[in-house]
Amino acid sequence: MCPTIRALERTDDMKIDELIKSIQDKFGSKVLKVYKHNDKRAYVDIYPKDIVEFTKYIFKDMGLRFNIASAVDDFDGLEILYHFADDLTGYVISVRTILKDKFDPHIDTITSVTRSAWWIEREIRELFGIEFDGNSDLRGLLLPDDWPKGVYPLRKNFVVPKRDSRKA
């Protein structure tokens, strides 16, 4: 059984549809789209401005574990997926937000809800250039200090030239 310090309304024989329905009932039209990939995976689309509310509900009230956030550079904009794992039932619910402004993308930090997002927000800012408003510690995590500003390695417009293995 997965213990939790928060209110728990789930049991281990719940279906993923029931979890999604509880999110839809709570947030109504703020849930833009739900895509159920299979019995274990679901993707919920929301507006970026609602992310803190959704995280509070899914992490604190429903008691799912925050897995990680992954950012993707796609045609529509910069997508961030927040993955939450349910250790009681074996499902992963991923909350997707799309930041349409690629030049100056901003989103609220979720570190007020869970400290486990501290490092991943630093990493995403460094590698994608997304600003997390409200996070006071957004120093670089991985890249050298002399890495040029404004150059984000994981964006699609950053291309690493193929090198000959004997030359730099």
Partner 1 sequence: MSHNAHIPIGPYHPLQEEPEFYKLVVEGENVVDVDVRIGYNHRGIEKISESKSFDQSIFIVERICGICSSSHPIACVQALEDLAGLEVPERALYIRTITQELERLHSHMLWLGLAGHFIGYNTVFMWGWKYREPICDIMETVTGNRQNYAMMKTGGVRRDIEKEHIPYILTRLDEFSRQLDMLKGAILDDPVLHARLKGVGVLTKDAAIDYSALGPTARASGVDIDVRRDHPYAAYDRVKWNVITQSTGDVFAKTVVRILEMEESAGIIRQCLDEMPNGPIDSNPKDIPPGEGIGQVEAPRGECFHYIRSDGTNSPLRHKIRAPTYMNFPTFRETVIGETVSDATIILAAIDPCYCCTERMLIVDSKDKELMGVQELIRLSQEKTAKLKAKMGIK
Partner 2 sequence: MGLKEKILSKSIYVFHVSSGSCNNCDIEIIDCLTPRYDLERFGIVLVGSIRHADAMLCTGSANRLCIPIIKRLYEQMPQPGFVIAWGACGSSRGLFKDSYNTGQPLDEIIPVDAYIPGCPPKPEAVIAALGKLKRKMLAKKELSR
The residues binding partner 2 (CB under 8 A) are: 143-144, 153, 158, 160, 162-163, 165-166, 168
Smallest separation (angstroms) from partner 2 to the CB of 140: 11
Smallest separation (angstroms) from partner 1 to the CB of 1: 6
Residues 6+ apart with CB under 8 A from 19: 10, 42, 62, 86, 89, 91, 93
Q: Does 27 bind partner 1 (CB under 8 A)?
A: no
Restricted to residues 29-68, the positions that interact with partner 1 (CB under 8 A) are 37-38, 40-41, 43, 65-68
Q: Nearer to partner 1 by C-beta: 23 or 83?
A: 83
Phi then psi for residue 148, to 5 deg, are: -65, 140
Residues 6+ apart with CB under 8 A from 26: 57
Question: What DSSP assignment string belongs to 64-127?
Answer: PEEEEEEEEE-SSSEEEEEEEEETTTTEEEEEEEEE--SSS-EEE-STTT-GGGHHHHHHHHHH
**Size of the chain, expressed as the number of residues it contains:** 168
Q: Does 114 bind partner 1 (CB under 8 A)?
A: yes
- Considering only 15-23, 50-58, 97-105, 109-117, which stretch makes contact with partner 1 by CB under 8 A? 109-117
Q: Which helix H or strand E contains 37, and what residues bound it?
A: strand 31-38
Question: Which tokens sit at 53?
Answer: 């509310």
Site of tokens 């670089």: 140
Q: Does 118 bind partner 1 (CB under 8 A)?
A: yes
Q: Does 85 bind partner 1 (CB under 8 A)?
A: yes
Q: Nearer to partner 2 by C-beta: 104 or 145?
A: 145
Q: Does 101 bind partner 1 (CB under 8 A)?
A: no
Task: With beta carbons less than 8 A apart as the criterion, state whether 134 and 106 touch.
Answer: no
- Considering only 13-21, 22-30, 102-110, 138-146, which stretch makes contact with partner 1 by CB under 8 A? 138-146
- Considering only 15-23, 24-32, 48-56, 135-143, which stretch makes contact with partner 1 by CB under 8 A? 135-143
